[in-house]
Structure formats: structure tokens, C-alpha cells
Structure 1
Amino acid sequence: MAKLFFRYAAMNAGKSTALLQVAHNYEERGHRVRIFTAGMDDRYGRGYVTSRLGPQRVAELFDATTDFLSLIPVQPDIACLLVDEAQFLSADQVWALHELAHMRNLPAICYGLRTDFRGQLFPGSAALLGLADEMDEMKTICDCGRKATMNMRVDGSMRRVTEGAQVEIGGNARYRAVCGRCFRAA
């Protein structure tokens, strides 16, 4: 039986790298995957899953209007659905991925952030935390050496930003992965 998976972490934990490795593993064994990433993420160009380590791969884009159920045939010729930047999914899209896993026997593995720079759940992450059959926290470390669990938005002087829109694409120039202590002390 297929499952809906959520693999989450703070920034720089290797989520995109892990997704690319899973895709490679499936394809090396002759199986086809479909890879999706958020259309709003243009850090490395639109339509790519890119690891900070360098590997990059073309991906299909999703946005608020994407209907996964209509994109995936009833008898898919794919073995797995992979979603990067899953925090940007809507709750309805997560329900659709859940249906693909449970009614069409198509595993869906989603990679994303759990919370934003204020410590608030993203809508897609909240739905995944509620619906995923399996969840895995991927790990990274804070500058202080503790496990990083928070994403801190910073300004040009590397000072913590506490207000603003939930989504502001910026990568390492705008965000840091930090532990709870450093998040509160900043």
C-alpha cells in the first residue's frame, strides 16, 4: 500500500538533495517519477529542484491552481510522486496527494519546511502534519552546534526580522537555520 510521506526540516538540511537521490534511486531501477516544485521559487531558475551542493533537475511547477488528481492518470506509468517546497501546497492539494497514495496506490513524498520565520506552520505543512502516513525530521545544525529546528529571517545586517509576509524567497541571504535558543535570543 502506498503512503503519503512528509520529510521536513529547517533550511539547509538537505531536503532537495534527498529528493534528487530518491528520484535517482527509482530511475536507476527503471521506474519513472514525476517531480514537482513551487512555481514561486525562482532562486535557481523556475522549474528546477536544485541542491545547494550543485545537482539540479528539471521539475514540473505547482501553484495554487494545480490539480494533482487531474494531472496524474488513474493508471499512472509512474512509480512515485516527489514534491519539493511542499510547505507551499494548499490543504486541498495535500488531500489530493493523500488520495493518490491511498486510492491510486501512488506514493507521494513531500519535502519542505515545517514553519516560517515567525515559528508559524505553513498551510501545506500543517495539512501534511495532519495527513501524512509517515513523517521524518531531517536534521541540520545551528551555528551554536545545537540541532536547528527554526528558520530565522534576517536583514542585510544579519539581524532577526520578526514581521512581514509569510513568504519571501531569499535563501541563505535572507534566512538562517537556528535552534530554538538562538531563535529566541536573536
Structure 2
Amino acid sequence: MAKLYFYYASMNAGKSTTMLQADFNYRERGMATMLWTAELDTRSSGMVRSRIGLEAGAHLYSPDTDLWNEVQAAHNSRPLDCVLVDEAQFLTKPQVWQLARLADEAGIPVLCYGIRTDFQGELFPGSAALLGIADTLVELKAVCHCGRKASMNLRVDAEGKPIKQGEQTEIGGNDRYLALCRKHFSEALAR
């Protein structure tokens, strides 16, 4: 039976690297995969890129993308053995249910990778839906500067000072975000 998986973590935990490794494992065995990433992340449009230099082409999804129809059309042309979704925090709740349907009705395993919470400690909509309905939840580990597990994402300005307010989504990497443990995240925001 196919399952819906959610691999989640703070930034810099190796989510994209883990996804690309899973994709490689399927393809190495002659199996067909389909990769997706968020159109919103303009840093590497049409590519899944890891910080350690691995990359692969991917289909882009936006909030309007019907993942059920798009994947089913590809699956009808060439049967898919796995669908992998990067930046899954940007999925809409209906898209998460479409991915669950792919696992349940089409029998295609779906592996989603994303950030659990934003820079204020709030769940992203896609992450909330995945945490609620995924068959398997896997937390990947990042490390805070103190050595503890980093579970939070602190947004910083150009001088490295914490940002407390703003839009939930602001695309950026190490220049805009720090992965911290909850203690150091709270201290940085003076909670």
C-alpha cells in the first residue's frame, strides 16, 4: 500500500539532499519518479538544489496547480513509482489532500519535504495539513550553534538582527534565516 510521507525540519537539515537521494535510489533501480518544487521559490526555478551541490529538474507547482490531475496525466503516459515534493510547506490544504489521494487511489508513494514552522513559530498551511494526514512523519535534524537540535527558523536582517514581524513567506537562505533550538529562538525574539 502506498503512503503519504512528510519529512520535516528547520532550515539547513538536509531536506532537499534527502529528497534527491531518495529520487536517485528509485531511478537507480529503473523506477520512474516525478519531482515537484514550489514556483514561489525563485532561487532555483525548476530545480531542486541542495546546499551540498546536488540538484535535479522538477515540475513547478503554484497554489492553483491540480497535483492530482498533473500527476495522473504523467502516470497514464508512463507509470510512476514515486512522487517527491520539495518545499512542501507551500502546498495548499487541497493539494495535500490531492497527494493523499495519489497514494490512496493511484497507489503512488508520495514523499513530501518541507519546513514545519515559519520565523514566528507558526505552522505553514501545507505543513499543518501534512502533519494532520500524512501516514508517516519523519523529523530530520539540524543543529543549533549550541549543539542542540534546531527546530526553529529565525529570520534576520542584513546585519543579522532578528526580525519579529512580516509576511509569513520570504524566500531566502543562510543570508535571511538561522536554524536555532527553541531556547535560542525564544531568546533572540525576547519571548
TM-score (norm 1): 0.97
The structural deviation recorded for 1:52 is 0.2
Indicate whether 1:173 and 2:175 are aligned: yes
**Distance in 2 of aligned mates of 1:78 and 1:130:** 25
Q: Counterpart of 1:111 in 2: which secondary structure?
A: strand
Give the counterpart letter for 2:25 in structure 1.
Answer: N
1:134 to 122, 136, 148: 136
Q: How does 1:6-85 map to 2 (within 5 A)?
A: 6-43=6-43, 45-73=44-72, 75=76, 77-85=79-87
RMSD of aligned alpha carbons: 0.9
CA distance in 2, matches of 1:160, 1:145: 20
1:66 counterpart letter in structure 2: T
Unaligned runs of 5+ in 1: none
The total of aligned residue pairs comes to 185
Give how far 1:142 is off.
0.3
- Aligned positions of 1:143-162 closer than 5 A: 143-162=145-164
Runs of 4+ in 1 over 6 A off after TM superposition: none
Query: 3-state SS of the aligned residue for 2:42?
Result: coil
Deviations 1:139-165 (A, max 9, x none): 010011111000000011111111000
What pairs with 1:71-150 in structure 2 (closer than 5 Å)? Answer: 71-73=70-72, 75=76, 77-150=79-152
Distance in 1 separating the partners of 2:41 and 2:161: 23
Deviations 1:72-127, CA, capped at 9 Å, x for gaps:
22656110000000000000000000001011111100000000000000000000
Partner SS state of residue 6, structure 1: strand
For normalisation by structure 2, the TM-score amounts to 0.95
- 1:47-68 Cα distance to aligned partner (Å, 9 max, x none): 1000000011110000001101
Cα deviation per residue 1:160-179 (whole Å; 9 max; x = unaligned)?
A: 11100000001110000000
Classify the secondary structure of the residue corresponding to 2:179.
strand
Question: Identity over the aligned pairs, expressed in percent?
Answer: 52
State how far apart, in whole Å, the 1-side matches of 2:17 and 2:149 are: 19
Question: SS where residue 5 of structure 1 aligns?
Answer: strand
